[in-house]
Amino acid sequence: MKKYYPYILAIIVQLQFGGLHVVSEEPISINKTLTSYDFVAYRTLLATILLYITTKIKYGARYKVKFALRTIHLMIFSVVLNQSLVFIGLSQSDSRLSTVMQSMIPVFTFFFSICANKSRPNIQLVVGVFVVFTCALFFDYKRLTSLNEDIIPVVVFMAQTASVSLFFVLQKKFMTEKEGEVEALPLPLSTSTFMSAVPILIAAQYAFGHGFRVEHFRDSSAIVAILYASILSTLISYSLMAYINSKCHPVFLGSTVILQPIFALAFGKIIRDINVPAYKIYLAIGTCVGVVIVAYGNHLQRNKNERSAIKPTEMTVVSSIVEPEKVS
């Protein structure tokens, strides 16, 4: 049963990310209590504090602050580039283009994982990524056809999705190279990644944002959104994503990201009774089928890797038993 934990947890992670879109919409878009930049700043700072406290409680002196220096490359792609490119893109376009470009994440992850690992993926992963990409792309068909964009925001959002994909692949590579060490475990790794981003985040908030103000917390919906994002969407979810990435192919993690708009749409239907066109329901089902195919391909690849890792050991044991001792 344990081997299925990563797949179950991946669904839970994307479910809560879908809920984040609904929870954060009111304080950011409706009440204008927070700008998107303020929201990210508070979320990251609070989550970093919670991550550090949790890690020190669990691992004590075995976790060292200097570990954060070794994850700067992960921080650049997961926090700095990802968030800054989103804001640059939104300043020149809108969320429609961002949602459409999100469908590129499985493709980029697939490409970067091949380049990084120099391994051939099985046919199930290839088919699954194609199905996920196609269904996710046309999930926002009306948004896609209504876009009339310059090349700059398209390139910006494409770079943003590429940074997310590259983060998944580099995180997997980091955990593989330092397997067995404390700094490569999911919780310490997430803590180090966010800790290394704090100085840049604080400087950027005062240089380009609105600074840290008390009035940001006078609205209850803003407090709920920040707590939700800090605890569920960062502390728990980033640690779980690191765990999933340690057990699965990064392409699987990249493919599950596409489930976010589907879950957000489902929550919107349940909570606000929004109208959902039939074609979106069919494409949502197709996307889920694609993710299942990717999961199956990942499962086959894991079994293959486990068998190849066991065989040399078995051969050594057998040879030591069968081969007679040489008489000198």
What is the tens place of the pLDDT at every residue in 54-97? 999 999 999 998 898 888 888 888 777 877 777 677 666 655 56
In this prediction, residue 29 carries a pLDDT of 58
Count the neighbouring beta carbons within 10 Å of the beta carbon of residue 317.
10
pLDDT of residue 292: 92
Q: Which residues contact 194 (CB under 8 A, 6 or more apart)?
A: 44, 47, 48, 51, 75, 79, 234, 238
The pLDDT score that the predictor gives to residue 318 is 44
Please state, in angstroms and rounded to a whole number, the distance separating the CA atoms of residues 91 and 95. Answer: 10
Tokens of 74: 């992960």
**pLDDT tens digits, 164-209:** 899 999 999 899 888 889 999 999 999 999 888 888 877 877 776 6
Q: Which residues of the chain have pLDDT under 50?
A: 313-320, 326-328
Give the model's pLDDT for residue 185.
Answer: 92
User: Is 104 in contact with 254 (CB distance < 8 Å)?
Assistant: no
According to the model, what pLDDT value does residue 210 have?
66
Greatest Cα pair distance in the chain: 87
Question: Residue 69: CA atoms inside 13 Å, Cβ hemisphere, count?
Answer: 3
Q: Please state, in angstroms and rounded to a whole number, the distance separating the CA atoms of residues 164 and 97.
A: 16
Closest CA to 153 of 81, 77, 88, 84: 88
The pLDDT value given to residue 207: 74
pLDDT at residue number 52: 94
Q: Which of 215, 121, 108, 123 is nearest to 170 (CA)?
A: 108
